[in-house]
Amino acid sequence: MTGMLSRTADNLYWLGRYVERAENAARLIDGTYHLSLLPITPEEHGELWRRLFQSNEELELFQNKHPGFDDDSVVEHMVLDPENPSSIVSCMDAARDNTRAARAELTTEISQCMNQTWMDIRGINMDKIHERGIQDFLDLIKERAHLFQGVIYGTMRRGEPFLFWEMGTALERAENTSRLILARSNSFHRAHRRDDGFDFYRWGTFLRSANAYSAYRQIYGDIDPVSVAEMLILNTTIPRSLLACIEDTTDILKTLRREAQCAEMSERLAAEVRSMRLDQVLRSGLENFLHDFRNQVHALSDQIRADFMMVR
């Protein structure tokens, strides 16, 4: 890096991650909510919501406060709970703090956009969400995330500050696409497939959660689980695919410091995903591949912070 403080780089990196995390939480909840409206058993309904929690720590944090996996309990935890560091409210609080800390590198329009979003969601509670409608509230979060990203792209000078924000966004997007696939990974197994309209609606909802339904129909046509996995993992024309996100991260790291250890790690991860055999992964265990991918993303993030932000 040339002249930017490592602390400022860290602020911009996490600004990108937290806004993207809030949007992806809204996407996960939105897709699960729509699937929960299908004619399924109470056990299947609870399992839909339970699969949003993908680690023992996440499950424990939720179960300490809620007895079961019903709509309102999960929405409250994932949207409003200030003790959940990944809730939408917590993410937007952290994003605002990072915006203020890095304000010298950001435009006035970026700060105004963040402050307006933060003011619009502060004080929100379940009664207000029900009054507004959960769909409308989640759409607001997604729209504000898109607006914020658009303001950054439209007003921010292309330089190191922009690259750190962009890298945080790409890496968070990779992790959250893997979370999305993991939450529905059982649906990829042949034993869970159905030949009626249920499967068409289920996969359509899944693709909309990844903002990829229209793109999928244009590229592949009829919905097939293997093609869905291929698109969200390997298709680099899809900005949320795992490979596209890691290749974007690799390109940014090479621009910042080609010889950095994190650039080598990112390049190896991209090569590993690029060379994978999807049919073998689906047969041997999609969940194992995704958990390993997420672990490597976490290690890459730690190395980025060690190389650029002096955080170890």
pLDDT, one tens digit per residue, over 90-104 is 999 999 999 999 999
Q: Which residue has the tokens 């993030």?
A: 301
- How many percent of the chain have pLDDT more than 90? 65
pLDDT for residue 181 is more than 80 = yes
CA-wise closest residue to 174 among 233, 260, 88, 251: 233
**What is the pLDDT of the chain when averaged over all its residues?**
90
DSSP element (H, E) containing 199: helix 197-209
Query: Are 249 and 171 in contact, with CB atoms under 8 Å apart?
Result: yes
Query: Given this model, what pLDDT does residue 198 score?
Result: 66
pLDDT for residue 191 is more than 50 = no
3-state secondary structure of 21: helix
Q: Give the Cα separation of 202 and 21 in Å (integer).
A: 23
Tens digit of each residue's pLDDT (9 = 90 or more) over 240-267 = 999 999 999 999 999 999 999 999 999 9
Gap between the terminal Cα atoms of the chain: 18
| CB count in 10 Å sphere of residue 89 | 19
Query: Given this model, what pLDDT does residue 201 score?
Result: 79
pLDDT for residue 193 is more than 60 = no
Q: Residues 109, 7, 242, 251: what is their CA dihedral angle, to the nearest 10 degrees? A: 90
Question: Span 201-226, mean pLDDT?
Answer: 87
3-state secondary structure of 276: coil
Question: Span 59-69, mean pLDDT?
Answer: 90
Query: Given this model, what pLDDT does residue 205 score?
Result: 83
Query: Are 49 and 74 in contact, with CB atoms under 8 Å apart?
Result: yes
Query: Given this model, what pLDDT does residue 282 score?
Result: 82
Question: Which DSSP string do the residues of 122-159 spell out, in sequence order?
Answer: TT--HHHHHHH-HHHHHHHHHHHHHHHHHHHHHHS-SS
The token pair that represents 247 in the structure block: 């290749």
200 versus 267: which is more confidently predicted? 267
Question: Span 18-32, mean pLDDT?
Answer: 94
Q: Which amino acid is at 52?
A: L
